[in-house]
């Protein structure tokens, strides 16, 4: 009898272990690489570095080139990135024809097959290298800045939104809970998603958004505002079913201290007996700005 009980116990343990293994296998893998980066930009070397500063003589020329790398998951189309030089008076230099230049070709996003992402060098001295025009006594040490602005998008996928009209039904899925969310690599991210009800049959999804890239963000066509960030958003899946707002504004959000909340609710209550799960996608669209800086020391020539 004892052997029979032990045998049945062993069978039960193996059965439960098998079920656990099946549950683990049912987990959904993210379709995104993730991360909080978009464009990463740096000045190419101006010359020889001494003590952390590039040094050249006033008789020498130097290139002004910026390498931009796309470390997020949104392709940057030609002309969707613009760099402006700041901190120096172009009239004091030769061979810098413009203080603003954009990308000329597609800068590809990172992906499973392109982990490094695309890149492009933006050359502000394409014909000949820059040269300081004026006589120098001792040295002149300007700070060269560049603002990098580019159009970008963030995609947030909630793989299993629960469409349940009757909350007393405990089968299939749960409505009132935090949901798993997959977010594309971008400087603005979706930190979390919560599902809830706002009346019988009315589902509500709450997205917590955060500017994690360290730069400024604004809506396409709008100026950057020092008081707050701005972006647009829309539900990509069944958009006609949802009304999405942030602080009373439909399809646009203001980020205070780098954060905003977007709430999407069904326009029409679910029909009686509705019970299923579905993948939903929210898209954020914006222009992002970062600033880079480099120091250069132009020294008086001894000859």
- Whether 107 and 199 share a structural domain: no
Mean predicted confidence (pLDDT) in 82-103 = 97
Which long-range contacts link 122-126 to residues 24+ away (Cβ below 8 Å)?
122/65, 122/66, 122/67, 122/68, 122/83, 123/63, 123/64, 123/65, 124/64, 124/65, 124/66, 124/85, 124/96, 124/97, 124/98, 124/99, 125/63, 125/64, 125/65, 125/95, 125/96, 126/97
Q: What is the mean pLDDT of the chain?
A: 92
Is residue 118 included in any domain, yes or no? yes
Could you list the residue range(s) of the whole structural domain that residue 125 is in? Answer: 39-150+290-299
| pLDDT-based confidence at residue 17 (cuts at 50, 70, 90) | very low
Is residue 11 included in any domain, yes or no? no
Is residue 19 included in any domain, yes or no? no
- Whether 277 and 183 share a structural domain: yes
| pLDDT-based confidence at residue 25 (cuts at 50, 70, 90) | very low
**Lowest mean per-residue pLDDT among 43-52, 96-105, 186-195, 210-219:** 43-52
Predicted confidence (pLDDT) per residue in 185-221, tens digit? 999 999 999 999 999 999 999 999 999 999 999 999 9
Predicted confidence (pLDDT) per residue in 116-164, tens digit? 999 999 999 999 999 999 989 999 999 999 999 999 999 999 999 999 9
Is residue 276 included in any domain, yes or no? yes
pLDDT of residue 74: 98
Is residue 157 included in any domain, yes or no? yes
pLDDT of residue 31: 86
- Whether 134 and 237 share a structural domain: no
- Whether 62 and 172 share a structural domain: no
Is residue 9 included in any domain, yes or no? no
Is residue 22 included in any domain, yes or no? no
**Lowest mean per-residue pLDDT among 1-10, 116-125, 136-145, 245-254:** 1-10
Asked whether residue 179 carries a pLDDT value surpassing 80, the answer given is yes
CATH of the domain at 172: 2.60.40
- Whether 105 and 166 share a structural domain: no
- 210 DSSP β-pair partners: 189, 259
- Whether 138 and 265 share a structural domain: no
Phi then psi dihedrals of residue 54, to 5 deg? -75, 130
Asked whether residue 13 carries a pLDDT value surpassing 60, the answer given is no
- Whether 118 and 213 share a structural domain: no
- Whether 77 and 114 share a structural domain: yes
Q: Looking at the 3D structure of the chain, how many domains does it have?
A: 2
| pLDDT-based confidence at residue 42 (cuts at 50, 70, 90) | very high
- 143 DSSP β-pair partners: 295
| pLDDT-based confidence at residue 29 (cuts at 50, 70, 90) | confident
Q: Among residues of the chain, what percentage have pLDDT more than 90? A: 86
- Whether 218 and 268 share a structural domain: yes
- Whether 118 and 241 share a structural domain: no
Q: Higher confidence at residue 178 or residue 48?
A: 178
Is residue 25 included in any domain, yes or no? no
- Whether 242 and 252 share a structural domain: yes
- Whether 100 and 189 share a structural domain: no
CATH of the domain at 69: 2.60.40.10
Entry pTM = 0.88
């Amino acid at each position: 009898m004892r052997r029979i009980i032990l045998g049945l116990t062993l069978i039960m343990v193996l059965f439960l272990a098998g079920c656990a293994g099946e549950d683990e296998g049912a987990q959904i893998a993210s379709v995104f690489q993730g991360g909080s980066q978009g464009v990463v930009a740096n000045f190419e070397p101006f010359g020889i570095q001494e003590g952390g500063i590039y040094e050249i003589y006033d008789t020498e020329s130097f290139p002004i080139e910026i390498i931009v790398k796309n470390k997020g998951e949104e392709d940057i189309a030609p002309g969707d990135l613009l760099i402006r030089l700041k901190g120096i008076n172009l009239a004091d230099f030769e061979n810098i024809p413009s203080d603003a230049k954009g990308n000329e070709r597609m800068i590809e996003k990172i992906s499973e097959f392109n982990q490094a992402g695309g890149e492009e060098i933006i050359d502000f001295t394409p014909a000949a290298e820059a040269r300081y025009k004026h006589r120098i006594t001792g040295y002149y040490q300007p700070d060269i800045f560049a603002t990098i602005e580019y159009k970008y998008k963030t995609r947030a996928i909630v793989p299993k939104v629960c469409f349940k009209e009757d909350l007393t039904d405990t089968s299939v899925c749960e409505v009132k809970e935090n949901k798993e969310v997959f977010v594309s690599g971008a400087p603005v991210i979706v930190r979390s998603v919560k599902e809830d009800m706002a009346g019988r049959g009315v589902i509500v999804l709450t997205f917590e958004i955060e500017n994690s890239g360290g730069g400024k963000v604004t809506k396409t066509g709008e100026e950057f505002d020092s008081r707050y960030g701005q972006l647009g958003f829309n539900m990509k899946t069944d958009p006609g079913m949802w009304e999405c707002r942030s602080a009373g504004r439909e399809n646009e959000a203001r980020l205070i201290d780098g954060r905003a909340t977007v709430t999407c609710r069904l326009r029409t209550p679910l029909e009686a007996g509705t019970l299923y799960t579905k993948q939903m996608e929210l898209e954020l669209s914006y222009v992002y700005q970062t600033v880079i800086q480099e120091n250069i020391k132009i020294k008086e020539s001894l000859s």
